[in-house]
Every structure is written in C-alpha cells, then in structure tokens.
C-alpha cells in the first residue's frame, strides 16, 4: 500500500497528517481506478472465504483503511477482527470502515512483522495485501514461520502481492511494471505518477510465486494455491494453508 507511517499522535503534527492524506489520496485514486486489480483480487479472496461457514478470526496486516477487507468480511461469520498498521490515521479510518462488523475488534498501531512476532491468540485467517513486498527476500523467509505459528491448525494465510517472473531481476520487473503504468495509468497526473514511482522503486521487492511457495512449505504450510494472477503477471493472490 502507498502509506505514510505515522507512529506518533497525529493530532500533534499537522504537517505529517497533511502528508499522509496527500499520499493516501493518491492511493485511493489508484484503488478506485482499479490500477492494482483490487476488484478481481478481492473477489477471489471473497470466494475463498465463502467456504468458511463457521465463525472465524481474521488478522488484517498492513490494513491501511481496511475498506476492501471489511467489505469482503461484511457478509461472513467473523468472530474476531484485528487490523494492524503503522499509521494512526489509517487505523482511525479502518475503525470507521470496520464498524459494521458485529464482532470484537482491535486496531493495533504497529509494524506488521513485529505484531506477528509478538504472537498471542492464534487466528483462523491472516491476510496481508500489498505490504509484504516491502521486505527483502531474507526477511520474508524469516517471516513465514512466524505466520505459521500465529495460525490455528487448518487456518489459512492469504497474500496479495506484486510478483516477478523467476528469470527476472528486481530492476527488470520494476522497469516492466513502469512501462505498464505509463501506458495504462492515464488518469493520474505527472506529479501523482512520480510519487507512485518513487514509492515503488524505493520500497518494492517482488518475488516469484514459486519462491513464495517454497517459503510457505519450508515454514510448515501443508498446501499452497494461487487464486488470482493479473494479465500482465505483475500481481498475484495466493493462499497457504496450515
């Protein structure tokens, strides 16, 4: 997600709040224009979760404003929901968007890696969307066993992330992504495009789907399935079952 971390009381720093909303508005435009293929990805997530007819707990990592996940969860038997994000402002929006969920809710301002490492009561479902790619490969590999430990037996980890082909380098896939953006993200201004490019080139570390599967199986997940891949092979939603 394109976010601006706010780890202090946002009311004490108007400039940081302004910076957050400037960047958040770009992300909202990208979301509304479906440039990151949220519609298909979250439709696939909803279809996968529809099989859960018994109440289940849900951990939303890097939740941002949680608008997409809470829409998916609105018609499902959620027994407990927790949103985790670095930004206090984003979590306030998440709290508003999660209001219709009729279950105990928590909104945790924390780094998602630290939250998972802290453990606690396990969850039936853990989801992370467009945030895991901020970690380099070595940190992703270290993260998967912690995820597995925080899942109930039979639980599922869902992840929507940018990907690359096995033969591609990071530089090659980012260049391919940028060519796609320049050709198709026509509703954004040059300044908005520049902001997005700066964020992605500075923070994104896409991995091949095959590497994600290897990480999951090495961490003890018993099954792995790709649920959605966009036409350009730039984004994928996968699940790993405990």
Q: Which domains does the chain have, with CATH numbers?
A: 10-241 (3.40.50.150)
d(CA 67, CA 145) in angstroms, rounded, equals 28
Q: pTM for the full model?
A: 0.91
Q: Which long-range contacts (CB under 8 A, 24 or more apart) does 97-104 make?
A: 97/65, 97/66, 97/67, 97/70, 98/66, 98/70, 100/70, 100/74, 101/70, 101/73, 101/74, 103/78, 103/79, 104/79, 104/80
Q: What is the pLDDT of residues 75-124, one digit of tens each?
A: 999 999 999 999 888 899 999 999 999 999 999 999 999 999 999 999 99
Here the tokens at position 176 are 């391919």
Q: Which of 75, 47, 44, 72 is nearest to 60 (CA)?
A: 72
Q: What is the pLDDT of residues 119-153, one digit of tens each?
A: 999 999 999 999 999 999 999 999 999 999 999 99
């Amino acid at each position: 997600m394109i976010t601006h971390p706010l780890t202090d009381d946002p009311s004490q720093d108007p400039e940081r709040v302004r910076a957050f909303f400037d960047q958040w508005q770009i992300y909202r435009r990208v979301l509304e224009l479906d440039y990151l293929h949220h519609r298909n990805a979250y439709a696939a997530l909803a279809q996968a979760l529809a099989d859960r007819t018994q109440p289940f707990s849900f951990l939303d990592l890097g939740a941002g404003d949680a608008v997409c996940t809470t829409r998916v969860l609105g018609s499902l038997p959620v027994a407990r929901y927790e949103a985790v994000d670095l930004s206090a402002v984003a979590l306030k929006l998440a709290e508003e968007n999660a209001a219709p969920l009729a279950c105990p809710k928590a909104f945790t301002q924390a780094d998602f890696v630290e939250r998972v490492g802290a453990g606690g009561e396990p969850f039936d479902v853990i989801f992370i969307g467009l945030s895991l790619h901020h970690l380099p490969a070595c940190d992703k590999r270290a993260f998967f066993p912690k995820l597995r430990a925080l899942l109930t037996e039979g639980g599922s980890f869902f992840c929507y992330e940018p990907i690359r082909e096995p033969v591609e380098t990071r530089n090659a896939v980012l260049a391919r992504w940028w060519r796609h953006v320049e050709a198709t993200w026509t509703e954004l201004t040059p300044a908005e495009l520049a902001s997005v490019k700066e964020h992605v080139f500075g923070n994104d570390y896409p991995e091949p789907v095959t590497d994600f599967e290897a990480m999951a199986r090495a961490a003890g997940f018993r099954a792995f399935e790709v649920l959605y891949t966009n036409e350009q092979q730039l984004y994928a939603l996968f699940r790993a079952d405990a």
